[in-house]
Chains A and B, each alone.
Chain A
Amino acid sequence: MLEYVIQSQNKFSLGVKELWQYRELFYFFTWRDVKVKYKQAALGILWAILQPLVMTIMFTLIFSKALNVSSDGIPYPVFALSGLLIWNIFSNGLLNSANSMVLNANIIKKIYFPRLIIPMSTVLTALVDFFFALIIYSVVLIYYRQDVSILKLLLYLPLSILITIITTFGLGTFLGALNVKFRDFQYLLPFMIQFLLFANPVLYSAKAFTNPYISFIMKANPIASAIQLCRSIFTGQEVDWASVGISCIVAIFLLIMGIYTFRKTEAYFADLA
């Protein structure tokens, strides 16, 4: 028989068993968020495809046509889109998971389920958008007759997505937990994300970094590494595996930090939210 104890501070655990019990909720939360996101928009789910397209056109006009930024020898739209694909998982995932606990406060206050499901499924929602964006990506690749190494595509793309998701999830749960207590993050985060968009080599080449300190930081930066990895499928540049390795370690560290903070504070979400 199922027997459990409710008391003030349980010993720290990941609660994997419980997450497994409630696994269907991941699906339902993600499904709800995807559904609700494009409800009552005339174009509906088409927006998931249009958004990255519009962004690419916009940035191509500014960075390629007006500023003539180098794009590592591939057409700028291909270059920008490979950065934006990763970036959008990160920025949407982070923004939504950081706000997710506050947004779902009415549910948290009324019913119990493993709280981690909420920020986790918002990251999954961002991933769904990513798959739609892939459609545009393939169209752009065909349009520019971009050579693609299938082997690299099958290896590098999933790896870069994995790094991105782990990072996003780590930071997202961390900020999500803090946001319950300190709503300041709600206001800070949009600035942080804007800053990070320009601080990461999303729209320009990482070669633009000449300062050795910044180059070093970029090596350890999981998002920059994921973008590099995703881009190297097309540019034919060597992958800096040391950098990818360090980034993986950083990503996993962020994940542990996020989950630890979240699990430590989640018991009081209902009192604070």
Chain B
Amino acid sequence: MKPILEVQHITKKFKIGSKQESYLSLRDIIAKPFKKKEKNVDTFSALDNVSFDVYPGESIGIIGKNGAGKSTMLKILSKITPPSSGKIISRGRVASLLEVGTGFHPELSGRENIYMNGSILGMRKFEIDKHFDEIVDFSGVEKFLDTPLKRYSSGMQLRLAFAVAAYLEPEILIIDEVLAVGDAEFQKKCIGKMDAVSKSGRTVLFVSHDMNAIEQLCRKVIILEKGVLYKKGETHELISNYLNENKIFSFDTLKLAEKVSLTNISFHPEEITSGTNLNFKISIEYEQTAIPAIRDLCLLIYSLKGVRVAVADLREFIKNFKKEENTLSLEGTIENMNLVEGEYSIGLHYNINETRKDIYDVNQIRVKPCLTSSSINPYSPNYRGFLELGKKIKIT
């Protein structure tokens, strides 16, 4: 059997440095001949010589840390951006969901958006007609079909978007982290739908931080690390290995929005005892000209399997950010972290200058068991969930 996707030696380079902004202005081009040529522009390889094959009917999870090249890989697979070198041979109709609701327009009604979104995703009009009732049913917004999308709640928009996507019938389906949003019930519905898709013999490529979802959906995984294919194999073996390996959370700066980056997010102490206080510090650097407008900020606490354990909502404290030249910083304490011992990964949810995003794995915390005087041996941490209730139980 021939592979349905042959990824051969894919490399993607981006130019970096002050000279290569994301786009040039005409002035730069006109001035170019008069400037001294800068030698060797720095390049950064988002992907470096990545090769793998995908066979029909396989469902493959792609995992890796921030900046490992997962999204770039998906963008190349979906033909959104070309590779710098290497090639991919594809033998089937590809549909990619790098975002739910691509092409949704707030002024159009729900009905109109179903058609708009469906056709952008590559569905033919007759296919949309055929599935229209099912889509409406799946989304549960039939009452609001003729209301402009801008009056929908974000949950409704999301459900509508996913409902359209659920009726795509490509041979290869490429999905990026779209499940990271939405309520639990809806996520379950989505996972169920994706599971059905992969069981029906279609090929699925799925990127996620949620190891549970990956374990549920994908038989094989590919681990990318710093743009290089690090490992490929069976999901169960690889995921437990991956989780056991020391995760190193290091970055100099992480871009949050245009001209705004995260320079530091640290916790003290590095290892806390369950039930004690955790101090945190967040520093955000920005370019001279504009102080970023932070509208939303939350610390997201994840288990190592990618399940969200808790959210530290910092919106109330945004005004407490201290300003030093080009840097905003916030220090604080989360009291009484009564998590079950183990490692937790920290993510960040933010809305800065109208860029709203979740980023994962910006740091991690390690929680030590709290020593109790009780003579009873505690159950193993895996068994105890996330929340430590030991001292919270009183018998009356």
Binding site for B on A (CB under 8 A): 1-9, 22, 24-25, 28, 32, 35-36, 39-40, 106-113, 180-184, 267-268, 270-272
Q: A9-B82, A112-B96, A182-B24 are in contact. Are A32 and B88 (CB under 8 A)?
A: no
- B interface residue numbers (CB < 8 A to A): 14, 22-27, 29, 75-93, 96, 98-99, 102-103, 105, 107-108, 112, 115-116, 119-122, 124-125, 148
* Total A-B contacts with CB atoms under 8 angstroms apart: 107
List 24 A-B residue pairs with CB atoms under 8 Å apart, sorted by A's residue number: A1-B92, A3-B89, A3-B91, A5-B90, A6-B77, A7-B87, A22-B122, A24-B119, A28-B115, A28-B119, A36-B108, A108-B80, A109-B80, A110-B99, A111-B96, A111-B98, A111-B121, A180-B23, A181-B24, A182-B25, A184-B27, A267-B82, A268-B82, A270-B81
Determine the residue in chain B with the shortest Cβ distance to A273.
Answer: B23
- Interface centre among A39, A181, A271, by most chain B C-beta atoms within 10 angstroms, is A271
Across the two chains, which residue of chain A brings its CB closest to B148? A39
Min Cβ gap A225→B in Å is 30
> Which of B27, B79, B83, B103 makes the CB contact (< 8 A) with A112?
B79
Residues of A within 8 A of B27 (CB): 184
Query: A8–B85 contact, CB under 8 A?
Result: yes
Give Cα distance in the complex from A1 to B102, angstroms.
Answer: 27
B25 x A272 contact (CB < 8 A): no
How far is A183 from B92 in the complex, measured between Cα atoms in Å?
Answer: 37
For the complex of A and B, list the 10 residue pairs with the smallest distance between their C-beta atoms, beginning with the closest. Answer: A7-B87, A112-B79, A184-B26, A6-B88, A267-B82, A39-B107, A28-B119, A110-B102, A110-B99, A270-B81
Q: Are A7 and B88 in contact (CB under 8 A)?
A: yes
Asked whether, in the complex, the Cβ of B119 is within 8 Å of the Cβ of A110, the reply is no
Closest to A22 in B: B122
Kindly list chain B residues whose C-beta atoms are within 8 Å of the C-beta of A184: 25-27
Which of the residues A9, A35, A270 comes within 8 Å of B112, measured between beta carbons?
A: A35
B residues within 8 A CB of A9? 82
Interface centre among A6, A28, A182, A270 (most CB of B within 10 A): A6
A182, B29: Cα distance in complex, Å: 9
- For A24, the chain B residues whose CB sits under 8 A away are 119, 124-125
- For A5, what are the chain B residues with a Cβ–Cβ distance below 8 Å? 87-90
